[in-house]
Amino acid sequence: MAVVLSLPYCIVPAGFTASAQRKPRPSAPAPKPSPTTRSAALQALGAPPPIPRLAKKPELAKKPEQEINPGDVISVMTTEVMLPVTVRDSNGRLVSELTRNDFRVFEDGSEQPLNDLALRQVPVDVILMVDASSSVASNLDDFRRAAEGFATRLAADDRISLIKFDDRVELLQDWTKSRFQLRRALMRVEPGMFTRFNDALLLAAKEQFAGATKSRRAVIVLTDGIDSGRGETSLEGALQALLRSQVTVYVVSNTAISRATKRAELDSLMSSSDSIVRFNQLRVDDLREGLRVLDRSEENLAQLTAATGGRLYKPATFDALDSTYAEVADELRHQYGLYYTPVNKARDGGFRRVRVKTTNGSYQTYTRVGYFAPKS
């Protein structure tokens, strides 16, 4: 099933029309309301919601959300805490043979008892997201091939879904374990314009990961991370939603590819005569600004992935997408599901900062930096 979101207020299930959703009634049609009646009715309904939903679900009254900073993590509803942990050696290679005794967990600076630690095999739910705007559109075939290769490397119990975003956010494939269904959905990825990157992340966190599951949660997104500013949320708002939903974000960024293209054109122009440079001054300024935007985008993407315990990849060519997605799949396959029961039993809703170390000081661990305790 494909669900199309046309922001800001419209949700259109693919393949349906207004006539297909209603059956004619035998009774006479009701008289059209007057403009005054319509205005009063709209006022009674109140302001429309700022963000649409990926799936049609009844709106629930929401309490004001607690403000969190980048790196803060979500509230947990049980006393047991689960942390997806990736371990790499000094050469960046994945370390997968560790046992429970190799880990040490600190919460707010206090080490947690080893007898409350556990390592478990935990399935992963992965959203594949693709930026189908003009910056990626000409290389969608490379993405399709890399995505199919990624899916073949997942375990049988892992689930996958597919979201495309440009000027709209489209759920092309809901959760499935079927690689055939994913392959069919990948053929529906078509190019668009603009980039609602922030909205796509927010909707993925709030809608696709809305249900409570025991799986690890991950988003892998191919994008340059440059939001067109036509959406409804900021990157900070999207990050908060991802953290609250316990989502690890991996970004496959085409910023290095775009930078090389812009830099080559700029160098070519600047090596020309002064008259040619003056004639192309607008293009020169545009290229320089584009390079600055790419630099800022990379900084934002690095913060986004670090805060959620993920990783930023910057392949040099689109031909490298296959190996990049294979590396992400390899990390997910060798990620530890680390469980522990906190010594601090207070159900006060406070933020607990978490740090994970190994007994081997040369190993580097990657996970979220904390969580919010449950509140009674």
Report pLDDT digits (tens) over 286-311: 999 999 999 999 999 999 999 899 99
The answer to the question of residue 307 being in a domain is yes
The answer to the question of residue 222 being in a domain is yes
Closest CA to 6 of 170, 151, 213: 170
**Are 265 and 317 in a shared domain?**
yes
CATH number at residue 175: 3.40.50.410
**Are 198 and 97 in a shared domain?**
no
**Are 186 and 302 in a shared domain?**
yes
Residues 6+ apart with CB under 8 A from 91: none
Q: How many domains does the chain have?
A: 2
**Are 184 and 221 in a shared domain?**
yes
Burial of 295 (0-12, 13-18, 19+ CB in 10 A): exposed
The answer to the question of residue 346 being in a domain is yes
**Are 233 and 141 in a shared domain?**
yes
The answer to the question of residue 31 being in a domain is no
Comparing 13 with 230, which gets the higher pLDDT? 230
**Are 164 and 242 in a shared domain?**
yes
**Are 270 and 220 in a shared domain?**
yes
Question: What pTM, to 2 d.p., does this model score?
Answer: 0.76
**Are 265 and 340 in a shared domain?**
no
Q: Are 165 and 3 in contact (CB under 8 A)?
A: no
The answer to the question of residue 8 being in a domain is no
The answer to the question of residue 21 being in a domain is no
The answer to the question of residue 106 being in a domain is yes
**Are 261 and 116 in a shared domain?**
no
pLDDT band at 200; cut points 50, 70, 90: very high
**Are 94 and 234 in a shared domain?**
no
**Are 95 and 242 in a shared domain?**
no
The answer to the question of residue 67 being in a domain is no
Quick: pLDDT tens for 132-186.
987 777 889 999 999 999 999 999 999 999 999 998 999 999 999 999 999 999 9
Does residue 77 have a pLDDT over 90? Answer: no
> Residue 342: which domain range?
81-121+335-372
pLDDT at 60: 37
User: What is the 3-state composition of the chain as percent helix, strand, coil, each rounded to the nearest 5?
Assistant: 35, 25, 40
The helix (H) or strand (E) run that includes residue 249 is strand 247-253
**Are 85 and 207 in a shared domain?**
no
Tokens 């975003």 sit on residue: 165
pLDDT at 368: 85
